[in-house]
Structure 1
């Protein structure tokens, strides 16, 4: 029984019981696979990205809980997390962090020189977010860089080329993260204000719609301009319009005073990710011969 309880604690530490976060890491990786393809994306690459997303997200969550163990004890939603509650010790948490890192050395071994140079920034990005909320009201901006960096790494892994559309698509993903993780942050706004933790939710307060409009526009402009630069076909645009409609619906119907609604809207953000992936696939499939700008 004790062994099963300890296993359950590690599952919860890595958030393997709550796959939404891993899916939000996975979708940008899938965007890279779609854009690096001439038609349909490679299913093997998709499967590898899926597995790596779960493991690296678990490592990131563990790093977050190690940094935040004293803060988590003071927040209603997080006080029972395994490290904060004492179910898992700090040393055990560190071991679990490294247990979930194998995708990094495996990728390093398989990558070309350009992709290897990009992989060096992965670990610093994974560990900066928990520190950021101690110093800035914009930790979600830091998280946006980390959550979506798999897009850049996976694209370089497949192509070894930093094509013109990579940066705007990455910027679009960053804007998307600012919206969905700010929605997530509203769950804890009362506790965060009480203990002095910073977040965009604490900064925006009731003005969230104004900021969500801005970052939804950043997401849309980034993804659409990236699709245009990639020479995607006509199928890209209606599916991307559906993705942007869904993303807008999320914050337009949000009740920031209802933590359950915040969680529901945050969880549904993966639908936006799925639609963006389908948009890139549709764009590649309907692309005219000779319009592919990838190298």
Structure 2
């Protein structure tokens, strides 16, 4: 198989295709470094939580190092999670047009090689986690069960996006665990709001595969909602904004955080108005735009933390 034919359909023309050594490309694709959007989306709740916890503590001294460590950890652990997903889904991926060129079904790496790569990524993630306090380490390890079961959920429930939300939103707890050594009510509200956000944006993403998923019996909220997706997104995104707002109230934030939340909410509203579930390319673009939505909220939370710390 040529390298061009090995590229995943929604990940062409990136640095992995054009600059990475050819031997490394299958592994970089396993970890989705050719499509880093998922890593950014995993990172956003981590950064939100770290900034909000720093605001509660009125101390941003450790925030720069926490931001960097969360960045590394999110990219490495998302890679490990995607590698695990590809191992468990290799037979299903071979039957879906968009995913049949992934490294395992395409024969670029064996299951054994992928598993060794998974372990290597997990060890790097562990090294990052061990930089934090014991409570944060325990909190981080607790997420592994959710990550492990997620790939199997689309076989048994119409709501696999809930389990993805539980996993991808875990960072909303981690920031408080790292900065404050505890999980406050504000962290739980932030976690709940992030879960609603994840369910919404992954529903948009899943519409790319809705037809193939129907043929092979894979369940998703995209198939469940169908033509009612816009209405479902209104509910999910509204719930996300309200719950995150509750977190801000509980944390006693000031005006910069509220501006960040308003910008986040406007971006989500824009997504709903622009979405066409019958246009896979547009679904992908709107899904990717959630990184920008997350950064808008983070900018507000970070500004609030700096203001409250008196820097």
- What is aligned with 1:105? 126
- What is aligned with 1:213? 234
Is 1:14–1:62's contact at 8 Å kept on the other side of the alignment? yes
Q: Secondary structure at the match of 1:99?
A: helix
Deviation at 1:195, TM superposition (A): 0.6
Deviation at 1:131, TM superposition (A): 0.6
For 2:74 and 2:117, how far apart are their aligned partners in 1?
16
For 2:302 and 2:26, how far apart are their aligned partners in 1?
38
The answer to whether 1:19 aligns with 2:36 is yes
For 2:129 and 2:274, how far apart are their aligned partners in 1?
43
For 2:259 and 2:51, how far apart are their aligned partners in 1?
17
> CA distance change for structure 1 residues 91 and 288 in 2, over 3 Å: closer, same or farther?
closer
- What is aligned with 2:258? 237
Gaps of 5+ in 1: 290-295
For 1:191 and 1:148, how far apart are their aligned partners in 2?
27
1:222 corresponds to which of 240, 243, 251: 243
Superposition TM-score, scaled by structure 2 size: 0.88
> Can you list the C-alpha shifts for 1:128-156, whole angstroms capped at 9, x where unaligned?
21110000011011000101112212320
> Can you list the C-alpha shifts for 1:2-49, whole angstroms capped at 9, x where unaligned?
994331111111111111111001111111221122265722211111
Is 1:234–1:287's contact at 8 Å kept on the other side of the alignment? no
Q: Which residues in structure 2 correspond to 1:98-247 (within 5 Å)?
A: 98-247=119-268
- What is aligned with 2:287? 266
Q: Secondary structure at the match of 2:277?
A: coil
Is 1:175–1:218's contact at 8 Å kept on the other side of the alignment? yes
For 2:221 and 2:200, how far apart are their aligned partners in 1?
10
Is 1:232–1:286's contact at 8 Å kept on the other side of the alignment? no
Is 2:73–2:129's contact at 8 Å kept on the other side of the alignment? no
Is 1:143–1:177's contact at 8 Å kept on the other side of the alignment? yes
| Number of aligned residues | 289
For 1:16 and 1:107, how far apart are their aligned partners in 2?
18
Deviation at 1:103, TM superposition (A): 4.2
- What is aligned with 2:273? 252
Superposition TM-score, scaled by structure 1 size: 0.92
- What is aligned with 1:29? 46
For 1:203 and 1:194, how far apart are their aligned partners in 2?
14
> CA distance change for structure 1 residues 288 and 153 in 2, over 3 Å: closer, same or farther?
closer
Deviation at 1:170, TM superposition (A): 0.6
- What is aligned with 1:69? 90
Deviation at 1:249, TM superposition (A): 1.1
